[in-house]
Amino acid sequence: MKQFKKILGNVNTLTLIISLVFALIAFIFANPLLEMMGGSGEALSMGVSYFRVTLFGSIFVIYGLGSNMIIRGEGKMKLAAVIMGVGLLFNIVSNYILIALLGFGVEGAAWGTNIGMLVYAILGFVYFAKGKVSFKSNPFAFNFDRDILKTIIRYSTIPFNYFLRNDVLPSY
Protein backbone atom coordinates (compact mmCIF):
# COMPACT_ATOMS: atom_id res chain seq x y z
CA MET A 1 0.00 0.00 0.00
CA LYS A 2 2.96 2.30 0.63
CA GLN A 3 3.85 2.09 -3.07
CA PHE A 4 0.41 3.39 -4.07
CA LYS A 5 1.05 6.60 -2.12
CA LYS A 6 4.09 7.25 -4.29
CA ILE A 7 2.42 6.64 -7.66
CA LEU A 8 0.97 10.10 -8.11
CA GLY A 9 4.18 11.79 -6.98
CA ASN A 10 6.11 9.79 -9.57
CA VAL A 11 3.53 10.61 -12.25
CA ASN A 12 3.92 14.30 -11.34
CA THR A 13 7.71 14.03 -11.58
CA LEU A 14 7.58 12.26 -14.95
CA THR A 15 5.01 14.74 -16.26
CA LEU A 16 7.20 17.70 -15.39
CA ILE A 17 10.44 16.20 -16.73
CA ILE A 18 8.99 14.75 -19.94
CA SER A 19 6.91 17.79 -20.83
CA LEU A 20 9.79 20.21 -20.29
CA VAL A 21 12.34 18.11 -22.20
CA PHE A 22 10.07 17.30 -25.14
CA ALA A 23 8.63 20.83 -25.31
CA LEU A 24 12.10 22.36 -25.42
CA ILE A 25 13.32 19.95 -28.11
CA ALA A 26 10.12 20.33 -30.15
CA PHE A 27 10.20 24.13 -29.85
CA ILE A 28 13.77 24.27 -31.14
CA PHE A 29 13.16 21.81 -33.98
CA ALA A 30 9.55 22.78 -34.79
CA ASN A 31 10.28 23.76 -38.38
CA PRO A 32 12.19 20.62 -39.44
CA LEU A 33 9.76 18.37 -37.55
CA LEU A 34 6.79 19.77 -39.45
CA GLU A 35 8.72 19.69 -42.73
CA MET A 36 9.33 15.96 -42.12
CA MET A 37 5.56 15.58 -41.79
CA GLY A 38 5.05 17.18 -45.19
CA GLY A 39 4.54 20.82 -44.23
CA SER A 40 5.54 23.49 -46.73
CA GLY A 41 4.81 27.10 -47.57
CA GLU A 42 2.14 28.95 -45.64
CA ALA A 43 0.81 25.73 -44.10
CA LEU A 44 4.26 25.08 -42.63
CA SER A 45 4.48 28.60 -41.26
CA MET A 46 1.03 28.37 -39.67
CA GLY A 47 1.73 24.86 -38.42
CA VAL A 48 4.95 25.93 -36.71
CA SER A 49 3.13 28.85 -35.12
CA TYR A 50 0.33 26.59 -33.83
CA PHE A 51 2.75 23.89 -32.70
CA ARG A 52 4.99 26.25 -30.75
CA VAL A 53 2.06 27.82 -28.89
CA THR A 54 0.61 24.42 -27.97
CA LEU A 55 3.99 23.37 -26.59
CA PHE A 56 3.45 25.86 -23.75
CA GLY A 57 0.46 23.74 -22.71
CA SER A 58 2.22 20.40 -23.09
CA ILE A 59 2.50 19.92 -19.33
CA PHE A 60 -1.31 20.10 -19.11
CA VAL A 61 -1.72 17.58 -21.92
CA ILE A 62 0.69 15.11 -20.35
CA TYR A 63 -0.64 15.56 -16.80
CA GLY A 64 -4.23 15.33 -18.04
CA LEU A 65 -3.52 12.12 -19.95
CA GLY A 66 -1.60 10.61 -17.03
CA SER A 67 -4.26 11.42 -14.46
CA ASN A 68 -7.01 10.27 -16.82
CA MET A 69 -5.28 6.91 -17.29
CA ILE A 70 -5.09 6.45 -13.52
CA ILE A 71 -8.82 7.20 -13.24
CA ARG A 72 -9.52 4.67 -16.02
CA GLY A 73 -7.26 2.17 -14.27
CA GLU A 74 -9.54 2.43 -11.26
CA GLY A 75 -12.42 1.35 -13.47
CA LYS A 76 -14.07 4.78 -13.55
CA MET A 77 -14.36 4.96 -17.32
CA LYS A 78 -17.42 7.20 -17.32
CA LEU A 79 -15.79 9.78 -15.05
CA ALA A 80 -12.62 9.73 -17.17
CA ALA A 81 -14.73 10.30 -20.30
CA VAL A 82 -16.66 13.15 -18.65
CA ILE A 83 -13.41 14.85 -17.59
CA MET A 84 -12.08 14.51 -21.13
CA GLY A 85 -15.36 15.79 -22.57
CA VAL A 86 -15.41 18.88 -20.34
CA GLY A 87 -11.85 19.72 -21.43
CA LEU A 88 -12.90 19.27 -25.04
CA LEU A 89 -15.90 21.58 -24.59
CA PHE A 90 -13.65 24.27 -23.12
CA ASN A 91 -11.36 23.80 -26.10
CA ILE A 92 -14.24 24.29 -28.55
CA VAL A 93 -15.65 27.34 -26.75
CA SER A 94 -12.18 28.88 -26.34
CA ASN A 95 -11.44 28.33 -30.02
CA TYR A 96 -14.67 30.05 -31.02
CA ILE A 97 -13.97 33.02 -28.76
CA LEU A 98 -10.31 33.38 -29.71
CA ILE A 99 -10.71 32.77 -33.45
CA ALA A 100 -14.17 33.96 -34.47
CA LEU A 101 -14.78 36.73 -31.95
CA LEU A 102 -11.29 38.04 -31.22
CA GLY A 103 -9.64 37.22 -34.57
CA PHE A 104 -6.49 35.56 -33.20
CA GLY A 105 -6.35 33.01 -36.03
CA VAL A 106 -4.05 30.01 -35.74
CA GLU A 107 -2.47 31.23 -32.50
CA GLY A 108 -5.99 31.60 -31.07
CA ALA A 109 -6.71 27.98 -31.94
CA ALA A 110 -3.51 26.93 -30.20
CA TRP A 111 -4.30 28.94 -27.08
CA GLY A 112 -7.84 27.50 -27.14
CA THR A 113 -6.30 24.04 -27.14
CA ASN A 114 -4.09 25.01 -24.20
CA ILE A 115 -7.11 26.30 -22.28
CA GLY A 116 -9.02 23.06 -22.90
CA MET A 117 -6.02 21.00 -21.79
CA LEU A 118 -5.57 23.18 -18.70
CA VAL A 119 -9.19 22.49 -17.69
CA TYR A 120 -8.68 18.77 -18.42
CA ALA A 121 -5.58 18.71 -16.17
CA ILE A 122 -7.27 20.74 -13.40
CA LEU A 123 -10.21 18.33 -13.29
CA GLY A 124 -7.85 15.38 -12.92
CA PHE A 125 -5.96 17.25 -10.21
CA VAL A 126 -9.20 18.07 -8.36
CA TYR A 127 -10.18 14.38 -8.45
CA PHE A 128 -6.96 13.48 -6.64
CA ALA A 129 -7.06 16.50 -4.31
CA LYS A 130 -10.57 15.63 -3.11
CA GLY A 131 -9.42 12.12 -2.18
CA LYS A 132 -11.75 10.39 -4.64
CA VAL A 133 -8.97 8.07 -5.77
CA SER A 134 -8.95 4.50 -4.40
CA PHE A 135 -5.46 4.92 -2.91
CA LYS A 136 -4.03 7.52 -0.58
CA SER A 137 -2.50 10.24 -2.71
CA ASN A 138 -1.04 13.70 -2.54
CA PRO A 139 -1.51 15.59 -5.83
CA PHE A 140 1.20 18.07 -4.78
CA ALA A 141 3.83 15.35 -4.28
CA PHE A 142 6.93 14.93 -6.40
CA ASN A 143 8.65 11.59 -5.84
CA PHE A 144 11.49 9.85 -7.57
CA ASP A 145 11.25 6.10 -6.95
CA ARG A 146 13.27 4.20 -9.56
CA ASP A 147 11.17 1.03 -9.36
CA ILE A 148 7.88 2.88 -9.79
CA LEU A 149 9.29 5.07 -12.56
CA LYS A 150 10.58 1.99 -14.42
CA THR A 151 7.15 0.36 -14.18
CA ILE A 152 5.36 3.50 -15.39
CA ILE A 153 7.78 3.91 -18.30
CA ARG A 154 7.59 0.21 -19.22
CA TYR A 155 3.79 0.23 -19.39
CA SER A 156 3.59 3.58 -21.17
CA THR A 157 6.06 2.60 -23.89
CA ILE A 158 3.79 -0.23 -25.06
CA PRO A 159 1.14 2.10 -26.54
CA PHE A 160 3.86 4.45 -27.79
CA ASN A 161 5.58 1.60 -29.66
CA TYR A 162 2.21 0.51 -31.06
CA PHE A 163 1.63 4.07 -32.28
CA LEU A 164 5.06 4.22 -33.93
CA ARG A 165 4.76 0.85 -35.65
CA ASN A 166 1.19 1.26 -36.87
CA ASP A 167 0.72 4.98 -37.43
CA VAL A 168 4.07 6.65 -38.01
CA LEU A 169 6.41 4.17 -39.68
CA PRO A 170 3.97 2.87 -42.35
CA SER A 171 3.72 6.40 -43.77
CA TYR A 172 7.40 6.29 -44.80
CB 12 within 8 A of CB 142: yes
pLDDT at 52 over 70: yes
**pLDDT score, position 3:** 63
Nearest partner of 149 among 2, 1, 10, judged by Cα: 10
Q: What is the SS3 assignment for 141?
A: coil
Query: What does the mean pLDDT of the chain come to?
Result: 85
pTM: 0.78
Average pLDDT over residues 68-85: 92
**pLDDT score, position 163:** 59
Q: What are the boundaries of each domain within the chain?
A: 2-144
Among 15-19, 40-44, 111-115, 153-157, the range scoring the smallest mean pLDDT is 153-157
